[in-house]
Structure formats: structure tokens, C-alpha cells
A = this chain, B = another copy of it.
Amino acid sequence: MKPERGPLRVALLGCGVVGSEVVRLLREQADDLAARVGTPLELAGVAVRRPERVRAGVDPALVTTDAQGLVTRDDVDIVVEVIGGIEPARTLMLEAMKTGKSVVTANKALLAEDGATLFAAAREYGADLYYEASVAGAIPLLRPLRESLVGDHVHRVLGIVNGTTNYILDQMDSNGAGFNEALEEAQALGYAEADPTADVEGFDAAAKAAILAQLAFHTPVTAADVHREGITEVSAADVAGAKGMDCVVKLLAICERVPSDGGAQDGRNGRGVSVRVYPAMIPRSHPLASVREAYNAVFVEAESAGSLMFYGAGAGGAPTASAVLGDLVAVARNVVGGTPGPVEVTYAKLPVLPMGETVTRYYIHLDVTDEAGVLAAVAAEFARHEVSIQAVRQVGLGEEAQLVVVTHRAPDAALSAVVEGLRGLDSVREVASVMRVEGEE
């Protein structure tokens, strides 16, 4: 038996929406937490920039503006970082680990930009670094990927990981609204921020995709490696076109192994991984299609486990705090036991392939002249780039003549080249819409 020890002391960095929920849960769940950890968890201090803004329920005697002093204090065992952003969060977390503390964080931006530095520090100093709250709020997702599926072989992670854009696209799908109209409504309801760039341009989803890909494929991936397209160009016509195909448009984060071309040297890992974020059509029968409003869901395909889906609220103070507390208990148990948990390992080191080599499918909507030979000219353009057509449909006549083409799977570069070629055809008046199609063919 190990000797009895006193309470574990927790330093909290940041006390906004998430931080004040963490404080509340530490107080209200104190008995349960102590029973699970084996010793009480005690708040040692709360570092904030503006103490006058700290909400009711936080003991003023614990509040400090000296975050650096707090994380290096001898009487602190664990640091919880919910400030967000790159600095000072990175420096504070590194200081904490250097002085023997373990860290729980919800900081997706930092993990996606410079996770390697943090993981290296965790390894060097024997500290824990847990970050379940950084992706998909309270949905337990990183821990299952990291631990439950560790004996399995993950082929693909396909997820809706940004609630704001899902809310906007869901509105566009439900009532035919355009992007701007749906964005304004999302802002009025508090689902989108005044400056919605991080969400609607896909930066938030790309950071999460990097974190997921790294865990799923044991390979270093940063936000800069992620091919990113936002939803600002998605039109009401695109959404209507998806409906016509019995599909729905979702902003997807996709992490997948790209199978080898048959070269045996690639082995089971394939040629590399593809990590990307873009709006795409998925069939309405796909489990992700029914994810409404601001909910998140992540679909995982693994060799043995088959298809799994994790669904829940992807953001918000209370759900994020729930994930932080789950990590805090795990870290606290490791501190009590004297053994840190698993540090991320990126031993597979697979290459992240450029978007052009990623294999996907296209939906292409063309306004065409209504004359003999149009289809032949269009089909020739596809053939020239060795892209196989799955279905083609002509709609309307005369000035309204349109072609809808759906391809089989092909490298994205070939598909892009086809679209370029179509734009140059005399018989094509306009390429009205181009969208990728995901989910099974």
C-alpha cells in the first residue's frame, strides 16, 4: 500500500465560461471526485487577466493575475488550462510540466499547431497531458481513440466537429435559407460569433481534424497539414442540388488512410494519410446526415470494431467542463498512483498526402447549351483525365438546359482538372456548382 496523502491541489488558468463551470463542478461533485481519485481535489488558485470579471462562486482569495507564479508553486499538483490561444498558454503549460505538474487542457488551437512541443515536454518530465475537451466538447472521443481502439486498425474518421457551421447548414437544408441569412440567424441565437471566421472558414474544424488524425494514425499532423475549405461559398442551389441527390451538405472533417496503389511496400498503413475539412454531400441514410442543429458527431471506421459513432453537444461551458473533469480525475489518479498515463506516440510517421492525391468523388452541376454533342464534349473532358462518370442527368431545355454529373472515386487533382477543362468548353455556359461527395459510393 502507498502511504496516505493529502488533497491534490489544482491550479486553474482562465475562469471564463468553461473555467467557472470547472470551479462549480469541483465544488458540487467534491465527494464523488474524492471517492474516485482516492483523495480530495482542492482548488489552489485561479489565474485570470481581469480579476474584476471573475464570476460569483469563486473564492476571491484564490484569484491571482500571476499565472506564471501559480503554475510554478510547490503546492500545486495539477494545472488546468482553459485560457485558449497559443501564448501565454504554451509557456505556462511548459513551465508547469517542467516543475513536475501534470496538465489538463481544452486548447485545440495550441495542440493542433504545436502539440509536438507539448508532448515532448510531457515525455521529458514524466508529466501527463490530457486534452479530451479540445475536440467535440463532452463527447468522449479522444480517450476511445487513444485507448479503446488501440488494438484495432482505424481506416477513417469522418466527423461533424463544428456546431456553428452545422447549425447554419442545417438551417439552409431545412428552410432553403441562403448562407448569409442562416449566418445572421445563428449569430442572433448565439450559435455564431460576431466574427465568425474561425468557424465558417473551417479553421476550428481543421484544428480538430489535426488532433483526430494524429491520434487515429499515430502520425504527427498539424493544422497546417490540413486541407481546409469553409462553407461561405455554399449556396442555396448547392443545398437544393444535394436534396435532389437524396443527400445533405455537411462541413466534414475527414481523416483517412489512403490505400496503396498495390505496392506491397506500403503495407497495411497505405501510402499515407489524407486530412481535410470541406463542405461535402453525404447520403441522407448516413448516420451523420441526421445530426441536426449545433450537435457534433464523429463516425469512426475501424477494421475490427466496424463503424462506430459518437454523438453529443460539441461546445458550451458545461459540456466542455465535463470533459475537463473526466481528464482531471484520470490525471489525479495517475498522480496518486505515481505513474503517468500514455504519452502520445507518433511512431507510425505516415506522410500526409497533398489534397491532389486524395481520392474522392465530385458532384458537378453545369449550365449547358441545348444542342447536339454537348454530352459527348463533356464526357470527353472526363475521359481525358481518366475520371469515370457514375451518373449523368439532363435537366431542363433551351436556355435552362443543365447537366448534373456524379463521378466515381478519382484523385482530387484529376477531378479539379476536369472542372477546369469544362470551364473552357463552348457548350458549357457555366459550372454552377462543384461539391465533393463523401460516404460510401
Contact = CB atoms under 8 A, between A and B. Distances in A.
Contact of A149 (B140, B218, B338, B348): B140
A308 B33 contact: no
Contacts of A138: 152, 302, 304-306, 308
Interface stretch (A55-63, A246-254, A319-327, A356-364): A319-327
A58 B324 CA distance: 43
A80 to B, nearest CB: 11
Contact of A144 (B144, B302, B303, B306): B144
A125 interface: no
Nearest to A318: B304
B330 A147 contact: yes
Contact of A150 (B21, B309, B326): B326
Contacts of A32: 150-151, 153, 218, 348
Contacts of A290: 287, 290
A406 B333 CA distance: 48
A174 to B, nearest CB: 14
Interface stretch (A339-347, A378-386, A393-401, A418-426): A339-347
Contacts of A143: 140, 143-144, 147-148
Given A132-B148, A339-B339, A309 B312 contact: yes
Interface in A233-262: none
A32 B350 CA distance: 13
Contacts of A264: none
Given A139-B308, A304-B318, A308-B139, A325 B151 contact: yes
Nearest to A295: B307
Contacts of A329: 147, 150-151
A313 B305 contact: yes
Interface centre among A147, A148, A328 (most CB of B within 10 A): A148
A138 to B, nearest CB: 3
B148 A308 contact: no
12 contacts: A29-B153, A36-B342, A138-B302, A139-B305, A140-B148, A143-B147, A148-B323, A149-B322, A304-B319, A305-B313, A308-B310, A308-B312
Interface of A: 21, 25, 28-29, 32-33, 35-36, 132, 137-140, 143-144, 147-153, 218, 268, 287, 290, 302-313, 316, 318-319, 321-326, 328-330, 333-334, 337-339, 342, 345, 347-348
